Amino acid sequence: MGEIHGIAAVADTGEALVVTSRKLRSVKRLRNKKFKEIYQKRSRCKKGSRKWKKYTCAIARIGSKTDNQQRDILHKMSHKFVAWANDQGVKTTVVGDVEGVQRNTSRRNKKNLKQKRHSRGLNQKMSQWPFGLLLAYLTYKLAALGIDLIKIDESYTTQTCPVCGRKKKPSGRMYQCHCGYTCHRDVHGARNIYAKHKYGEIRALDWSIENIKYLRPAS
Residues with Cβ within 8 Å of 71's Cβ and at least 6 positions away in sequence, in order, are 133
State how beta strands 92-96 and 148-152 pair.
Answer: parallel
Question: Does pLDDT of 69 surpass 50?
Answer: yes
Domain that holds residue 167: 5-215
b (16+ CB within 10 A) / e for 186-215: bbbbbbbbbbbeeeeebeebeeebeeeeeb
Separation CA 173–CA 96 (nearest Å): 20
Per-residue pLDDT tens digits for 107-158: 544 555 445 444 444 344 444 567 889 999 999 999 999 999 999 999 999 9
Closest CA to 188 of 178, 176, 206, 197: 176
Domains contained in the chain, number: 1
- pLDDT by residue (tens digit) across 168-216? 988 888 999 999 999 999 999 999 999 999 999 999 999 999 999 999 8
CA–CA gap between residue 151 and residue 202 (Å, rounded): 16
Q: Poorest-confidence range of 12-16, 48-52, 112-116, 179-183?
A: 112-116
- Note the pTM of the prediction, 2 decimals: 0.81
